[in-house]
Amino acid sequence: MQPITKVSITDKVVEAIKEYIITGNYSSGDKLPSENGLSQQLQVGRSTIREALRILQAMGYVDIQHGRGAFVAQPRDITASIAKNWFSVNNYKIADIMEVRLAVEQMMAKLCATNMTDNELASLMEIHENFVQAIHTGQINQIIMYDEYFHAGIAKGSHNPLFMTINAQISDALRSYRAHSYSIPENRTHAVKPHQDIIQALVRHDPAEASEAMEAHILIALEDMSLLVQGQDDTQIAPEAFNK
C-alpha cells in the first residue's frame, strides 16, 4: 500500500496559479492580481499567497518586481525544463491514459470511418482549421480547446454514446498534459499532420486507415513526452511499449 502524501495549502495554491498561467488565462508580461486579490479569490491567507508566488518565481513562471507586483514571466523564462519536470512527475499517470487512448480512440476512428455523416465530417474539418489557426496565433487555450473538440468530434462520429462519455473523461484527464505539452512551441505543430491524416482516412471511409492514423497520432504525442523526460529518471515511457 502506497503512503498517503499530504499536500500543503501552499502547494495547492502554486498549482492553481500555475495551471491558470499555462492554460492561457494570462499572457506573458501580464500583471497578476495583488496578494490581497489572490487571497480573496483563493480563500487563503496573504502569507500563503506570498510563499506561493516565491515558489512560482523560482520555477520560472512569474517575475516578482518589488513595489510593482507579480508578473507572468516572458516565454524565454518559461523553459522546457519546467514541462520536463511536470512530465517526469506525472509519467506513470500519462502512461495509463495513453494505453486507454490507444485502445479506445483507434476503435472510435474505425467506427467513425463507417458511421460519420457528411455534416459531422464537415464540422470536424472546420474544427481542424480552427486548431491550425490557433497554433499560428499561439493561443494555447484555443489550441487545447480545439484539440479536445477534434477528438470529441470523432467520438460523436462513432455514433456510440459510450465512446462519447469515455472520451470526455479522457479529455478531462489530459487537460494538464495538453497545456504543458503545448507550452513548448515546437510541440504545437506535431498534431497537425496526424489530424489531417485522420480526416483523409475518414473522407475515404477506410476504417483500417483511420485506426492506423489515430495510433500514429497518439504515439507521436507520447514521443514528445518521452523526449522531454529522457534522461530524467529510469521510469521514462517508450512509445514502443504501446505498439502492440
Q: How far apart are CA 26 and CA 33, in angstroms?
A: 11
- Count structural domains, the chain: 2
Helix axes 118-137, 140-157, angle to 10 degrees: 170
Could you tell me the residue range of the domain that residue 227 belongs to? 83-231
CB 71 within 8 A of CB 81: no
Give the end of a domain, one of 76, 97, 125: 76
* 244, pLDDT greater than 70: no
Q: How far apart are CA 183 and CA 149, in angstroms?
A: 19
Least confident range from 39-43, 124-128, 239-243: namely: 239-243
State whether 99 and 172 are in the same domain: yes
State whether 68 and 87 are in the same domain: no
State whether 51 and 90 are in the same domain: no
Q: Residue 229: its pLDDT value, please?
A: 57
More confident residue, 138 or 147: 147
**Average pLDDT, stretch 72-85?**
55
Band of pLDDT at residue 209, cut at 50, 70 and 90: very high
Q: How far apart are CA 43 and CA 3, in angstroms?
A: 28
76: number of CA atoms within 13 Å, CB side?
Answer: 0
Q: For residue range 88-138, what is the model confidence (pLDDT) as tens digits?
A: 555 557 778 888 889 999 999 999 999 999 999 999 999 999 999 999 988
Element (H, E) at 204: none
Cell of 113: 470511418
Q: Residue 83: its pLDDT value, please?
A: 53
CATH number at residue 40: 1.10.10.10
